[in-house]
Structures are given as C-alpha cells and as structure tokens.
Structure 1
Amino acid sequence: MDNLQFKRHRRLRNSAGMRNIVRETHLHKEDLIYPIFVKEGTNLKNEVASMPGVYQWSLDRLDEEIDEVVSLGISTIIVFGVPADKDECGSSAYDSNGIVQKGIKHIKGKYPDLIVIADTCLCQFTDHGHCGVIEEGQILNDPSLELLAKTAVSQAEAGADIIAPSNMMDGFVAAIRQGLDEAGYVDVPIMSYAVKYASAFYGPFRDAAHSSPKFGDRKTYQMDPANRLEALREAQSDINEGADFLIVKPALSYLDIIRDVKDRHPVPVVAYNVSGEYSMVKGAALNGWIDEKAVVLEKLTSMKRAGADLILTYFAKDVAKWLNEN
C-alpha cells in the first residue's frame, strides 16, 4: 500500500461546512413558481382529492392563499381557472369576465409586484376537454390559433405579467405573439410550454382543473414520451416564433430533455414538476414511507442541476418554508 496513488475526493465532504462551500447547485425561493386554481363560486376552498394540500379557491377566499404565498417570499405564481360553464369553443377562456381574468385582476390589484403568469389553453373551458377546436372528432390546428390568441390578449388586458400557452398547437407562439403585439402588449413575454409530453403523470391535475378529455386522448398534439429529437425541434420552433421562456413538462422523467434544451437555447428554461410527481411523493410521505423534505429538495435540486432556471411546482410553499428555516 506504500506506493498506492489515488485522489482523496472525501476531503471536500468531511463536514457540513465544507460541503456547503463546494456545493455546485443551489435552490432558491426565486426559482419557484406556484400554481393556483381559481374556481367560480363563493366561499370555496376545495381540496383536490388526489393532491393533498392543493385547493381550488373562489375569488372571495383567494386572499388566504395569496397572502401566504407572498409572506413566504414566493415571487411568481401561475393561475389556472375552473369555470362555471363550458361550451364547444371554450368561450370563457377569452371572456374578459372569465374566471382567470377575474383572478388575475384580483391578485394584481392587491399585490402589483407579484409576477402573475396566465396559463393559456382551452381544455378547462371546452365541454369536450380538448385544447382546440373540434370538427368531426378531429382537433383542428389553425382555427384553434385564433382562439388562443384571443385568450392571451384577454389575459394580458387583465394584468398578466407573462402568458404561458400550454396547448401544443403548431404555430401557437407565433399566433399569440402577433395577437399580443397587435393589441399593444409588445412587452408581455411568452413562457411557452414548448416541450409537453403526452404523459401519464398529469392525472391529478385533471382532477384539479376539471380538464379531462371527454373522448380520445391528446397524443395527436402532445409529444410521444419516447422522443428526444422531436423536443429539440419543438423548442427551436418556439424560439423562432418569439418565445421568451421554454417549459419542459413533465420534469422528473425528462431531465435529459431539460439539459438538451438548456444547452441549445440561451433563454430561461422552466421545469414543470407536474401533479403526478407531486401526488406520488405526498402519498408516500403521508404513509411514512419516505422523508418528504429530503426527497422534495433532492428532486428539485436535480431539476436545477439538469439546467432548469425556474421550477413550476406544487411544492413551492413547502420548499419556501424549508428554505426560510435554513
């Protein structure tokens, strides 16, 4: 053993202080985007059965949620709407008095410095649950673009700081950018759901947003989970069309895609830590099978390490509390 030569890597791990000063990846409160579900009605705080700790809020009780978010130091939220009525074309998505628009106005009226992102899609508002216009059972791409642009403009008018289209229609960023610019909202950025897979991890969200399709599935417009190069093409198209941020959804099973996108595009990349990822961890934690805090922090740190600048996560409030404790 006298002549044995090797590197002593453990020197940089031998105390908590040493590990802290050489840590490469850090999670901050400013990295977090918290999703909020606003629902038509009064005196509502409805817990989503498949997402413990996540609620649908009516406008008259929304301050309970927003006040806590702000007090924790979370600077960015995204608003999803649950309307009272739905129709074939999802008209309440672009109604100036729609639930998302009312929610945005309410939030920005009380907290003008809070960054409010508007989820821009039709599925929660259509009676068929798909993200576009339907004709003879087919989801039509181009007619859907006009409605999506109208939705984005109405959300910007309500005060949204960022528009986040999640529909995966071809050309949706170009259509929305043109619509916003023509309406005078040239400074409102687009956070595109650029890479959105047809994933099995979305089930609990559809409980929260009441957005399950009434027939078929979304595989003709959301991506095949087996594909990598397709993600690069989708991201490049959205950059060419004017996207300011790129979302990869889901996050945990697609860390390689996050890294690919970040390596190729010098714009902020957002990891969407989706509902199924949240529910699995919450369910295991509630059964005492895992250390929730340790697992969540490790998981979100892996997303940052993969290249995400921001993380859209239902754990945002929990993480903010843990970071505040530290």
Structure 2
Amino acid sequence: MTDAVRRVWTGLVAVGPRAGDHRVALRAAVSVAVPLLVVWAMGRLDLSVYASFGAFAALYGRHDTYADRIRMQAAAAAVLLGAMLLGTSLVVVGAPLAVRVIVVSVIAAGVTLIAYAGRWHPPGALFAVFAAGTTASLPAQPGTLATVLVVGGASAAFGIGLTASLALIRRGARPSAAPVRRERRPLGNLAGEMALTVGVGALLAGLAGLLLVGTHWYWAMVGAVAALGGAHVTARIVRGVQRLAGTLVGVLVAAAILGLHLPPVLTILVAVVLQAGAEMFVGRNYGIAMVFITPLALLMVELAAPTDPTVLVRDRLLDTLIGVTIGTLVSAASATLRRTRSPGLG
C-alpha cells in the first residue's frame, strides 16, 4: 500500500475524539427544534426551510470563545439570509435555471472568501450554497422576500440568543478545553485560488446536475463544494469519498423514514435528532456525519414541499455522485496547475 493510499484510507476510517460534541449537539438540536415547532404550530410548514437555514447560523464557532462565536454566528446569519434572499429573488424574477446555477456559483466563491478571511468554523460556503440553491428551487412571490427575512432572521436570532444565554450562564465557569481565539486574516493568492476553485467546481456540478438529473440540481453543487473543502488534495479526496459513502447509507435511512409517512410533528422530532447526530460526528468523521445529514436534508425538503420519496432518494444519490466526481476532478486539476506554476512547491 503506497503512502498516498494509506493516508486516504486512514482519513476515511479515522474517528476523532469527542471533545465535548454532545454539548454542541444539544445546543444545535434546540436551535433547530424551536423554530421548526413554531412554524408547525402556525400551520406553515412551507416556511420550515427558511427557519432551518436561519437556525444553521448557530452551528458556527463551536470551538471559539463566546465573543468570537457570537460574532461569527451573526456574520453567518447575515450571509445565510443574503443567500436565501438571492435564491428567492431568482425565482421571483423568473430567472432561467442556468442563470440560477451561475448565481449560486458566484455565491459559493464569494462566501468562500468571507469564510477564509473570518476563519469561520465550519469553513467554506457549503451552508450558503445549500441555502441559495434550495430557495432558488422553491416557488416564491415578491412577498416571500419579507417572509424569508422574518422567519429566517427570527430563527437565526433565536440561535444566537441561545449562545449568548449560555455565555452568561457559563461566565466564570472553567472551560473543558481552551477556546480558540480567531483574528481575521488577509486575503491573498491562496484565498483567491480557493474561491475560484470552489466557484468553478460548483458551476460545473450545477450545470451537470441540471442537464443530467434536472430537479434538485443544487445538491450536485453542495456535493462539489463539500469535496473541495479540504486543505489539500488528499483531504479533499477523503472528504469526497466520505460524503459519497455516507450518502449511500444515509439515503437508505431516509427511505426508511420517509416510508413510514410520519405526521409532521414526528418528522420534525426525527429531524432534530438527526441534526444532533450530525453535530456529534461532523468534526470526527464526515462520512458518519453524512449518514445523519442526508436524511436530514431530505426531510427538510419533504417538510417544505412534499415530493415523491423515490424521486428525492434518486436525485440525492445521482446529484451527490455528480458533485463529488466533479469536485474531485476540479481539485486535482487545481493542484496540477499549482505544481506547474510552482514546481519547487510540489
């Protein structure tokens, strides 16, 4: 077994230490559960997507000091709201699907720069691409823009408020691990190359998903962005394979859950449990996390816009395969170009 293959295999099967992930998982579960239960109680499950993406702001900065965490979550909330507004605007103006793919690709590149400069954790533009692509695929009217702001903004505010409340409760408490302090870093050639690579990968994956699958093309873009998220080629290959393998298992879980035809409130509770499971493993083994993330993503779509479960499962598999394949190829091409320009660094 060569060193390269050994590194890839080790990365695929390694599971990192727990590092207090149960506390993060509980906070994430509450941040998602409350907004979803509110829209369910209102009888407006069609708003659940906006509530979910707003809640995702609370997932940022899990290892940071509380002050940095709140700042990062506020910035992420602004980006996620902006992504949803842009995606919704594309539907309102009746933009062609190809134009929607292009705009979401630009969002992927732009948010990659923002996340790099702010040292966001989780890094990259995956959530923003997911939010923009999903909203660009849902029916919308001009008034929907205000709905996105209210529902998504309130959901994000709740999650950030929960973080702030925990900061006040735990003030003076001895931390279980030294929190990370982050300072903004300047943008340079590396950041520009990362943004360009992610943008191109997302664009190619989105167009391929649109041509080959049609519906849910944004899942191909999310798969490409995820596959391009590693710091180097080996890490990107590991992440891509983990996403693909985890998706294969996750769609089986999703098919079983969707086949039960649960009432909405139980579907929400299952989604909350899946969110907690994803947070327990996303920093330890991305493949295991995908077993939770895949059915969670499908349930989010099912809650907002009920669809034939067979179509959902099929599209998720095909789009993920397309996205991971294209993301991995773009990553390899980018690395080859970098070595060609700087042979001494290869």
TM-score (norm. length: structure 2) = 0.28
More helix by share: 2
TM-score (norm. length: structure 1) = 0.29
Higher relative contact order (CA 8 A, sep 6+): 2
Larger radius of gyration: 1
